[in-house]
Amino acid sequence: MKAIDHRGDLNDYVLDTRRTLSEVHLNTVCKIRQGEKTCRYIALVNKRFFCAKLTPMKEMLDKCVKNDTMTGKGDNCGGLGTKLKI
């Protein structure tokens, strides 16, 4: 697994407003608060929900689901924002 530069690369993804999840999207697509159906890629940063699927965080979140260490296991859409730069 590639190390994530929390002060550089990841910041670019977190600040990308194209990844911001609207309340409607969170409820209908991400299925927030719906147990295992909840998308594994929902992230909360600075009081804002964003899509972490197409970021360096994806591999870590996928590993958590594989190891059964998180409740939300959904992979509910293609992701928001731009593709991984790695």
Q: Which residues pair with 1 in a beta bridge?
A: none
Which tens digits make up the pLDDT trace of 5-50?
Answer: 545 567 777 778 889 999 999 999 999 999 999 999 999 988 999 9
Q: What is the DSSP letter of 33?
A: T
Buried b / exposed e along 22-44 (16+ C-beta atoms within 10 A): eeebbeebbbbeeeeebbbbbbe
State residue 59 phi and psi, 5-degree precision: -60, -40
> Residue 86 above 70 pLDDT?
no
> Residue 54 above 70 pLDDT?
yes
Q: Give the separation between CA 57 and CA 33, rounded to whole angstroms.
A: 21
- Between 1 and 62, the more confident residue is 62
* Whether this model's pTM surpasses 0.85: no
Q: Give the separation between CA 67 and CA 85, rounded to whole angstroms.
A: 25
